Structure 1
């Protein structure tokens, strides 16, 4: 049986991580919605694109530098991409805060497991990233 103080600390950490997840999803949704509105304003009257020929996306959609530069210039598609980045960062933040919580609890096994999971995710994301 865990002492009451330990249960309260565990509960506080769970509530904080839940709040991080909610905030991340709401923020990402708001950014993507704002980008979608800007996109309709900017591109609403444009002609229908030709999808019979594949054209790869430029650095503006596939690199951090391109996305942030596009957001700074008010490009709607990059604002939408920023929303996607925030949405992708949300579960990674959850893993990071779980790692901190396990370290505070001095639970070495879960610290190691969480570090491995976080390392695999970060390597998978940034290993083949265009700069």
Structure 2
């Protein structure tokens, strides 16, 4: 089970690192990449940079505390915050009427909740 948790944690961290592109790519260019990316036009560039910073910090918080064995309790705490982040994304998509992409956000939310519950509980560091 520990290996499965590491794989899921790595997947979430990689996903969060990829999503930091919000800070690097102009909003208009990102919105043209597809229907699922049009949400960026609802946010200011400063808000997108803030989201990208939070994504980056979350990716680090999911992996480094356990790898360095410095405050490993931060892993399930970060996973809880990541679940809240994806739940917020699902709510934003629901408000925008993007029902197809809500399932993906809820799936990632469920993965983060799974990591948080397992790392707080039976498979804690």
Same fold (TM over 0.5): no
TM-score, normalised via structure 2 length: 0.38
TM-score, normalised via structure 1 length: 0.37
Q: Which structure has the greater CA radius of gyration?
A: 1
Structure richer in helix, relative to its length: 2
